[in-house]
Each structure stands twice: as C-alpha cells, then as structure tokens.
Amino acid sequence: MVVATNGSPLEQYNDTKIPLSNLSYNSIVSVDRGDPVGFSTFWEKLREEAKVEIKGDEVMSYFGDANLCWYMLPQMRNAILRLHKVVGNANTEDKYIVLGNGSSEVYLALLYALSTEKPSDIPINVVAAAPHYSDYEGATDMLQSKLFQWSGDASVYDKDEPYIEVVTSPNNPDGALRTPVVKSDAEGKVIYDLAYYWPQYTPINHELNQDIMLFTFSKCTGHAGSRIGWALVKDIEIAKKMVKFLHLSSIGVSKESQVRATKIIEVICDGYQNSNSTPSDRLFFNYSKKLMKDRWEKLKAAIEKSKVFTLPKYPTAYCHFTKEITEQYPAFAWLKSVEGIEDGESYLEKLKILTRGGKQFGVDPTYVRISMIGTDDEFIELVTRLANAKIE
C-alpha cells in the first residue's frame, strides 16, 4: 500500500496524529478546522448511557421508511422532531425532513432542487454575504454545473437574474446573526444554514419558521464523524427533488449513523425532559454552553492582553431555552489584525498557530478564523500563545 507522505494538498490533515495532550511550545496548534471534538469531554461522561449496539443482521436494507425520504429510519425522523421541539429553535410543522450525509450533501441537494433543469436556462446564481463559509464556493462550483454557479458576495449582488441566497445565522466565520441582504428585484430563494443555531453558541430567541432550514448534527452535538445533516423543507416538490439527488448521489444515508445519531439525540432530550433529576453537567447544552463561555472568557482576556487583534462585539438576548439573558459564544472566533499586520494567518503561523485567513471567506487577509471547539489542550495552548503575542 502506498501512503501519501508529502507533497500532497492534503498535508494539512497530516497533523491529526499529533499527541495533543502533550502539546509543547514547539508544537503546531491547528485551529483552522472546525472539528467539534471539544464536546467529547461531555460524551466521555455519558459514554455508556449513549452507547449503541448494532447486531450483524440489523439495518441491512437501503430502505428505512415508506415515506418521502425513503432511506430515513422512522426513529431518526422522530429524534430530529423531538430535538427541535426540546430546543425550540425551528418549527417543524408542515415540513418535510430530508436527510443527507452531512449538511454538505444536503446543501448540494438544495442547489439541485432549487434550480431549473431546462437546458435553455442560465445557471442560477448562488450568493452569500461576505464573510461567508469557506466551502460554499468550492462545493457549488466543483462540478461546473449548468444548473447553478457561485456568484460571490450577496451584499453586492446586482444581477437581474434568479439567485439563491445562503443565509448562515449565526454566521460562520464571524458569528453574526443574519437576515437576507440581496436587494435585487430578480426572483430569489433563500437557504437558511442554521448549523450554529443551538443554545451553546447563541441565545435561542426565536423559533424559526423559514421555508428551507439546514442543520448539521456535527455542530449540534459534536459528532462530526457521523455525517448526518438535514433540511426542514416546506415545499414537497423541493423535498422530492432533494431525495432524488440523494438517491443518485449516494443512495441515501448510513443507517448506522442514523441509529447512533438517534441515540445521542434521545440522551440529550431525555436529560432535559427529566431535568429536575439530572445534574447540570449531564445536560448537554448546559455543559457545552459553559464550555464555550469559559473558552470565550479566556480568549477575550488573551486578545485584550496582547492587543494584536480585535474581536466582533455580540449583542445579548433572551434565550427561551436557557431562560436567561445571555451572550453569544460562537464556534469560531473572528479576529481582525490591528494596523501594521497585513496578513493575520501568516502572522499567527509564525507563532505556530494554524488558522484560516480572511481571503477564504471572501474578505481581506487582515482577518483570521480560529476554531473554539477543538480539544482543551489545543485551546489552552492557543490562548497562551495569543496572550503573549506582540506586534513586531
């Protein structure tokens, strides 16, 4: 077996085997990716309670259910409905659930479903306000589809052509709460990417009820390895086209992941529905919100000490889920370099901190994105280095 050891564009992933519990001053701290393994400390405590068993002959079929999303297990559907009900972040009534292999695949299914298939038509323009998620462009344009094309920053979109606006709220990378910004009179459709609309990141102050809402299990519970994403979709024709896409793209979604995601969601919901008898540190969103709050306090202190970067200001709001007025604790910190630093990513690279620079999010390189949801060791080393950073 040949193994790629160097020269690969995937080398960025080659550091995943660094023993992060032994980070030294000379180690590289990778906070460029949003791998949500920081929440694993919670799941370690509930490892037995949240365990699943799958026997040799179980879930062997392509099929899961006799309904529209035919590859979805009924218990997966029920778990998703229950989770939204418990958290109160999205209204599931009169909506179809379309499941995918992560929200990435559901995103592509949505682009397919929202575009027209007449060969005479021009591709529909896909836009998102900058700074926007770094993979929208790559995913949209990868296959050079005649159905849709990436058209950049939604805030400057002025074509008189149909468009799809992706509204990520809270936003990746900067945590901002967003609404659509396109001013065009052309026919527009909106995808709400609500990957981060969970109580650990932001106050849940509305039960959203949009026509198309996209969610991912990865950023909700931290189980990114399961590749479970879903959309809540009002229009049956859109839902059907999405299911057709999922059929041709991957013939549905792993049943093992569905079994596992169902269990994890049930454990979370059981905790809240018996919350009088459940200690707070065994309630997932309480635990994960506290973790995010602690990290944000440490990060803010480090940033304030070094004065090399500034952070966005976030509003506070009442959270219907936690029943308190609370701040936002985004999954990513969005740092702006002070004057004198032209390229935040390069600056931090010298401190052996790997980040993702502004250019990848459609803005200038003075910005950098830092993951707040990695391992504890990584995070502690990050704030130590940031606190000691100086302008050269």
179: which 2 tokens?
Answer: 């609404």
Q: Pick from 390, 376, 351, 383: which is nearest to 27 by CA?
A: 351
For residue 279, state whether it binds its own copies (rule: CB under 8 A). no
For residue 252, state whether it binds its own copies (rule: CB under 8 A). yes
Distant-in-sequence, close-in-space partners of 267: CB < 8 Å, separation ≥ 6: 46, 49, 50, 284
What is the distance between the alpha carbons of residues 57 and 74, in angstroms, rounded to a whole number? 18
Written as one letter, the residue type at 132 is H
For residue 144, state whether it binds its own copies (rule: CB under 8 A). yes
Which residues, 66 to 95, sit near its own copies by CB under 8 A? 66-68, 70, 77, 81, 92-95
| Choice from 83, 102, 309, 329 touching its own copies (CB under 8 A) | 102
Q: How many residues does the chain have?
A: 392
- Name the residue nearer to its own copies (CB basis): 12 or 155: 12
8: which 2 tokens?
Answer: 């690969």
For residue 21, state whether it binds its own copies (rule: CB under 8 A). no
DSSP assignment of 57-75: TTT-SS---SSSSTTS-HH
User: Binders of its own copies: how many residues, by CB under 8 A?
Assistant: 96
For residue 145, state whether it binds its own copies (rule: CB under 8 A). yes
Question: Minimum distance from CB of 355 to its own copies (Å)?
Answer: 17
Distant-in-sequence, close-in-space partners of 388: CB < 8 Å, separation ≥ 6: 306
| Choice from 17, 313, 323, 350 touching its own copies (CB under 8 A) | 17
| Choice from 155, 156, 183, 236 touching its own copies (CB under 8 A) | 236
Question: Minimum distance from CB of 392 to its own copies (Å)?
Answer: 33
- Judged by CB under 8 A, the stretch of 15-23, 83-91, 310-318, 322-330 that binds its own copies is 15-23
Using left for φ > 0, alpha for ψ between -120 and 50, and beta otherwise, residue 252 falls in left
- Judged by CB under 8 A, the stretch of 175-183, 225-233, 319-327, 384-392 that binds its own copies is 225-233
| Choice from 27, 33, 205, 349 touching its own copies (CB under 8 A) | 33
What is the distance between the alpha carbons of residues 258 and 62, in angstroms, rounded to a whole number? 13
- Name the residue nearer to its own copies (CB basis): 40 or 205: 40
Strands 163-168 and 332-337: unpaired
x/- map, 330-349, its own copies, by CB under 8 A: --------------------
- Judged by CB under 8 A, the stretch of 61-69, 271-279, 290-298, 328-336 that binds its own copies is 61-69
- Name the residue nearer to its own copies (CB basis): 91 or 184: 91
For residue 251, state whether it binds its own copies (rule: CB under 8 A). yes
DSSP assignment of 302-317: HHHHH-SEE------E
- Name the residue nearer to its own copies (CB basis): 48 or 158: 48
The secondary element (H helix, E strand) that includes residue 191 is strand 188-193
**Contact yes or no for 353/385 (Cβ under 8 A):** yes
For residue 114, state whether it binds its own copies (rule: CB under 8 A). no
**Contact yes or no for 355/28 (Cβ under 8 A):** no
For residue 50, state whether it binds its own copies (rule: CB under 8 A). yes
For residue 222, state whether it binds its own copies (rule: CB under 8 A). yes
188: which 2 tokens?
Answer: 């527009």
Question: Minimum distance from CB of 278 to its own copies (Å)?
Answer: 15
- Name the residue nearer to its own copies (CB basis): 94 or 185: 94
For residue 64, state whether it binds its own copies (rule: CB under 8 A). yes
For residue 367, state whether it binds its own copies (rule: CB under 8 A). no
Strand partners, 97: 232
Strands 212-216 and 148-153: unpaired
**Contact yes or no for 366/207 (Cβ under 8 A):** no
For residue 22, state whether it binds its own copies (rule: CB under 8 A). no
